[in-house]
Amino acid sequence: MKYKRILLKLSGEALMGDRQYGIDPSRLAEYADEIKEIHDKGVEIAIVIGGGNIFRGVAGASNGMDRVQGDYMGMLATIINGMALQGALEDKGMLTRLQTALKIEAIAEPYIKRRAVRHLEKGRIVIFGAGTGNPYFTTDTAAVLRGVEIHADVILKGTRVDGIYTSDPEKDPTATKFDYISFEDVLKKGLNVMDTTAFTLSQENKLPILVFDMNKKGNLIKICEGENIGTVVNI
């Protein structure tokens, strides 16, 4: 396998499937099947999920809510998604651990870097919830931060689009896809890959980001086997 240890970043919206909000159990089961494929091949897997299918702090703030309060609500949404994914993975026979940046001992371990790494070494899938535990930081930033801390080989960002394009391919039919692009070129061209904090953290720590379509069956295993899927951002 090309990658020994990965950090998989999923958006909360991805869990909605065709619904308007919430969690689609069939989509969860599909993701669990994809993750099981690479787990069975010996890949060590850590996961960060967003909470946009339940609540988004920025959206709350735009409607007059206190931003800090809204962000904490968003963190709790990521824990709900983490619990849902944990259940789906365990239904397929995988061992998991949910670690959160906010202490909720009844349902999850507090995030401890050494413990997370030990779980990965033992073949358990580790799901990181509650982002970084701080308001004003996105789950993209949490994904890169955790990826750096656990010494992941790559950040795999699963989206609805099959890579990075010159412009939004859903709006611009003339948009062309990059197979490979440097961090510097992403910034020069003003492409939207991750928020600036997350992207800069990844660049400074030389941690590559691979953007791919998570909803296409088989993509995850193909990436881990070294096939040219999606777009790689690297130094």
Q: DSSP letter string over 72-119?
A: HHHHHHHHHHHHHHHHHHHHTT--EEEEESS--TTT-EEP-HHHHHHH
Condensed to tens digits (0 to 9), the pLDDT of residues 51-66 reads 999 998 777 778 888 9
| Residues of each annotated binding site | 9-12, 51-52, 56, 71, 132-139, 159, 165, 168
Q: What is the pLDDT of residue 60?
A: 79
Instruction: Report the number of distinct structural domains present in the chain.
Output: 1
Q: What is the pLDDT of residue 82?
A: 98
Range of the domain at 42: 5-233
Q: Is this prediction's pTM over 0.75?
A: yes
| Residues of each annotated binding site for ATP | 9-12, 52, 56, 159, 165, 168
Q: What is the pLDDT of residue 168?
A: 85
| Residues of each annotated binding site for UMP | 51, 71, 132-139
Condensed to tens digits (0 to 9), the pLDDT of residues 154-163 reads 999 999 889 9
3-state secondary structure of 10: strand
CATH of residue 223's domain is 3.40.1160.10
